[in-house]
Amino acid sequence: MDRKQIRLIRLKPRNYQHPRRSPRRFSNVAVFCELEQAFRGDCTSYTTLSYAWGQENDSRPISVGENILHVSANLEEALRELRDERDDLMLWVDQICINQEDEMERAYQVQQMKQIYAEAACVIAWVGPAANNNDLVLAQLNSVGEKAHIETGALDKKSFEDMVDHTFANFLPALADARSLETVSAAFHHFCKRSYWRRLWVIQEFAVAQKVKVACGTARISYQMLRNALDSIAHILYYLEDPSDTGKNDARVEIGYTIVKAYNSSFSSFIDSIITRPHRYQNSSLNENSLFHVLISSLVLESDYNHPECSDPRDRIFAVLGLADDTKVFDNFPDYRNSCEYVYTEAAKRLLNQGFCSTWFVLYHLSANY
């Protein structure tokens, strides 16, 4: 393949019937697609899929042209759900569009990942099938996000009252009693706990995208609505924790604490790190976008030291390389023909040569997850 060449899949609609469909061969196949060659910058509009691969031993068949390809169960579920009723959908999906057995192709396709996601008309962030009332969570977050006014600073008493009375107005009936509050709290916890948010690759896929839609089963929420909602909840929390205001004893304050209780999870740092990444990436100075700083901010989440995950330890560097502005210093990355030891050692040498004396910190957290 040419270095700018990519593959796209044409995902067939729900009512599609394979023209040569063999009842025996395709009896367990629900997803049909065709593979097409394309060139970045000169191809039809397409959508990229961001998702967690899932367990390697849990696979399902799909039809790619005349062939049967086994993909991860989570991917098959995503493609099954994303199918249009009548029209084809053009998609880029790494598991299908990259030959995973060809290490050289995999390397130069990964080099294009930033551009592939940045040039896509939309990125679908598939967090998984509907479960644990996550559709309820997305509906509530949509309601809050649509009414939210973007606050750039700390809330004062009036803005806090306005937020409780208006932004969260449609949300409050769901928190009317202890049982419903517990349902919402458990649902949000499970949403934050989804394996999708713990993927290291998601950081880049979110950061460079023009448009993101988060999908959970049939439920959808745009990136902007999700960020608006989570920012509003965070502002409520900051206001309640402000020690300078001692007069927080009215009914709205009690509602504020209820809102925070509903949307509080020990796994929330994963989703916060992803959701805030586009703003941080687009507004960082040159030095803050060096590979050293990108690694520090992605290897360990600041609030609770949770570690994002990847199946290949070399991807702890390769997955965020596209966010760095000094990639010329790492000109032979990524290359999956090199061992993990080589990749880590070579990265350390080049970071030290750039004058980053705290490279030991990065190496410690890299090796701790190897």
pLDDT in single tens digits along all 370 residues of the chain: 666 789 999 999 998 887 766 666 777 889 999 999 999 988 899 999 999 987 777 899 999 988 899 999 999 999 999 999 999 999 999 999 998 888 888 888 888 899 999 999 999 999 999 999 998 899 999 999 999 887 667 888 888 989 999 999 888 888 888 899 999 999 999 999 999 998 988 989 999 999 999 999 999 999 999 999 999 999 999 899 876 665 566 888 999 999 999 998 888 888 888 888 887 777 765 556 788 888 877 765 444 445 678 888 888 888 888 888 888 888 888 888 899 889 888 888 888 888 876 655 566 555 555 5
SS3 273: helix
Query: Looking at 128, 149, 173, which one is the last position of a domain?
Result: 128
Check residue 300 and give its pLDDT.
53
Check residue 289 and give its pLDDT.
79
Check residue 285 and give its pLDDT.
59
Check residue 133 and give its pLDDT.
92
Task: Note whether 144 and 251 are same-domain residues.
Answer: yes
Task: Note whether 22 and 80 are same-domain residues.
Answer: yes
Q: How many domains does the chain have?
A: 3
Check residue 1 and give its pLDDT.
65
Query: Is residue 54 within 8 Å of 127, Cβ to Cβ?
Result: no
Check residue 12 and give its pLDDT.
96
DSSP state of 114: H
Task: Note whether 101 and 139 are same-domain residues.
Answer: no
The upper half-sphere exposure of residue 127, i.e. CA atoms within 13 Å in the direction of its Cβ, equals: 29
Q: Where are the alpha helices (DSSP H) in the chain?
A: 73-82, 94-97, 103-111, 113-119, 134-147, 157-162, 178-193, 201-207, 223-241, 251-262, 268-275, 277-282, 291-299, 315-318, 340-353, 359-368
Task: Note whether 52 and 156 are same-domain residues.
Answer: no
Check residue 301 and give its pLDDT.
47
Produce one character per residue of 189-200: b if its CB has 16 or more CB atoms within 10 Å, e if not.
bbbbbbbbbbbb
Task: Note whether 261 and 138 are same-domain residues.
Answer: yes
Task: Note whether 23 and 77 are same-domain residues.
Answer: yes
Is 16 part of any domain? yes
Is 276 part of any domain? no
Q: How far is CA 165 from the centre of its chain?
A: 31
Ordered DSSP codes for 179-229: HHHHHHHHHHHHHHHSGGGGBTHHHHHHHT-S-EEEEETTEEEEHHHHHHH
Task: Note whether 259 and 295 are same-domain residues.
Answer: no
Check residue 18 and give its pLDDT.
75
Check residue 44 and give its pLDDT.
92
Query: Looking at 204, 235, 267, which one is the last position of a domain?
Result: 267
Query: Looking at 70, 104, 128, which one is the last position of a domain?
Result: 128
Token pair of 359, please? 């490279």
Task: Note whether 161 and 190 are same-domain residues.
Answer: yes
Containing structural domain, residue 190: 134-195+222-267
SS3 130: coil
DSSP state of 49: E
